[in-house]
Amino acid sequence: MSMATMKDGTKIYYKDWGTGPVVTFSHGWPLSADAWDAQMLFLADHGYRVIAHDRRGHGRSDQTWTGNDMNTYADDLATLLETLDVRGATMVGHSTGGGEVARYIGHHGTHRVTKAVLISAVPPYFAQSASNPEGAPMSVFDGLRASLVADRAQFFKELAMPFFGYNRPGAKVSQGQIESFWRQGMTGSVKGEYDCIKAFSETDFREDLKKMTIPTLLIQGDDDQIVPIDLASRRQVKALPHATLKEYARAPHGLCVTHADQVNTDLLAFLKS
């Protein structure tokens, strides 16, 4: 397996496929780089070099007890790009990974990045607070933590249903995708996944978004049951200097799987624009 060593010695697993202009992928919680298979295969076949990593505490990367926070995630991504000498990249992030992309640019700038794509992403600020009264109540995230601790295996099987919109009337349910979601989640560290809930919900990305002055594509389904679109993309497009929002009618949070062809087409068009 391809592993990169972070500044604190943590080993991060990554995939590096194809040749051409670089596209990086940051995955959502509680998944791994495997969540991007449809996009990576498609873009590598269309002349791009695609790179995706497993966030620390997730997938095949080291299961660290500390450092499971958005600043460290962004620093890990910076170290990976430095290690691979990536330049002129388009950075793509889904859900928590969208926060990782925003924090990377907010802290490390755009000297290695030319474009960004945020898909069903958690910025600008997910959790409700005194300065963010429109956010989701903290009870939502406390519930996630409680379910994770009580029975992580069953919780991930149940979470896959709204994640992919399989709980909607008439939905075509893929048992394989439910099992893939479960496998990716169970491969990670329960400690890393527990800490990551705080990272994706309580990190304030509002200042990071102001620094995302590069062209940015936003993609989200209007039936996202995990990260509601009114808390996410519809606020992002108002905060980002150069953003375009594509809303997918009736699409769920996990639209990189359920609407892979549409996502791939929009990504390719954005890359070529």
pLDDT value for 1: 82
Question: In CATH, what number is assigned to the domain containing residue 131?
Answer: 3.40.50.1820
Q: Which of 61, 95, 120, 201 is catalytic?
A: 95
Q: Which residues, in sequence order, are bridge partners of residue 247?
A: 220
pLDDT in tens, 81-108: 999 999 999 999 999 999 999 999 999 9
From residue 134, alpha-carbon distances to 125, 137, 232 in Å are: 9, 9, 11
Q: Which of 58, 94, 253, 259 is catalytic?
A: 253
Active site annotation includes 233: no
pLDDT at 33 over 90: yes
How far apart are the C-alpha atoms of 88 and 90, rounded to whole Å?
7
Calculate what percentage of the chain has a pLDDT beyond 70: 100
Q: Report the number of distinct structural domains present in the chain.
A: 1
Sheet holding 113-119, edge to edge: 3-5, 11-17, 49-53, 22-26, 89-94, 113-119, 216-221, 243-248
How far apart are the C-alpha atoms of 127 and 142, rounded to whole Å?
11
Q: Domain residues for 145? A: 3-272
Active site annotation includes 95: yes
pTM of the full structure: 0.97
Q: Which of 224, 233, 259, 266 is catalytic?
A: 224
Average pLDDT over residues 215-219: 98
pLDDT value for 235: 98
pLDDT in tens, 116-131: 999 999 999 999 999 9
Calculate what percentage of the chain has a pLDDT beyond 90: 100
pLDDT value for 217: 98
pLDDT at 256 over 90: yes
Tell me the average pLDDT of the chain: 98
Average pLDDT over residues 4-31: 98
Half-sphere exposure of 88 (CA within 13 A, CB side): 6
